[in-house]
Structure 1
């Protein structure tokens, strides 16, 4: 039974998407499933010390998405598969679109979709985590809602317990439909 997937989207940033995604993945692993994780585009990435180049001709500093690291650790994904989990890690506490623009990184939307479609069949179940809320700008005019529609997997909406969260959850679910 390979190729099942679930998108995890949120009503906002910092509502617990990564925690819930990691928990679902860990539970699936505990039940014997082979689990994949994808956080296709992530901002707020930090320098990744293990990947800092010492070559004077290549002073690139690779970035680590802390969310991707959490997901990988939750299900035991080795560091060698980091790019599979998180192909785009961008610096800055911005939407992925703005973070990419500021970093002058071109992200090909169709390639992001193809990446997910390539990963999902490898595993019994793959969890795909969005960033921010459902309408967070991803690439160009695309938002995470566009990505969720184009990959066409069921979605789980995560909301926090702050005042107004019922309203945000209902609006997010309505928009997702």
Structure 2
């Protein structure tokens, strides 16, 4: 069974895929057998950019790396209303289980934040929080570095704590150095949640390379 990490974020566009790519690259560069799984990717018009990037790093077939693909850039639950492919949580869990058996290291990436709706079953809306709970996945949170991140990060931690999820830590992404809140945000988030800030990645023209540099010292802790 693989060492697995679920990558979530405090919002969309925060840097989950960048962090996922950096982790995958660090592991591949060490000769590790690493896999990637994004249960649902939307905005695939025509290319699934996240899964395409990661599958190139890991050497996987795209069909293995992403299970459900939709054109519209909306939540998975909404995407199903426009395309005739219904998402089944059981199918996601089965595919996840097969990948955990196949790879020594597995990176699972969500979409948006932890409460993004995936699908509906028996009148209940199922989110990525439900996936984390059902699959007992340890979680890495990616958050913005700047103003507004305290509230979003603390709420994400609160949601994960509600299911007793194992939170490995927070990666703060997009540090610019021009926002005065950036200096104190890591300290305050740790003070309010008790969760470690494992790394801060600067805004860069090479975001994956920047994250690799900052994640390398904590790679063994994450996995």
For Structure 1 versus Structure 2, the TM-score category normalised by the shorter chain is: 0.7 to 0.9
| Residue ranges of structure 2 left out of the alignment (5+ in a row) | 162-223
SS state of the match for residue 113, structure 2? coil
The count of corresponding residues between Structure 1 and Structure 2 is 157
Secondary structure of the corresponding residue to residue 141 of structure 2: strand
1:150 aligned to 99, 124, 134, which one? 134
Find the counterpart in structure 1 of residue 63 from structure 2. 83
Q: Does 1:68 align with 2:51?
A: yes
Normalised by the length of structure 1, the TM-score is: 0.85
Shift of 1:73: 2.1
Alignment equivalent of 2:149, drawn from 160, 165, 173: 165
Structure having greater relative contact order (Cα 8 Å, sep ≥ 6): 1
RMSD after superposition: 1.2
Task: Detail structure 1 runs of 4+ shifted over 3 Å in the superposition.
Answer: none
How far the C-alpha of 1:74 sits from its partner, in A, is: 2.8
- Cross-structure match for 1:111: 91
Q: Give the 3-state SS of the residue equivalent to 1:101 in structure 2.
A: coil
Which TM-score applies when normalising by structure 2? 0.68
Aligned to 2:13: 14
> How far apart are residue 100 of structure 1 and its match?
1.5
- SS of alignment partner, residue 104 of structure 1: coil
More strand by share: 2
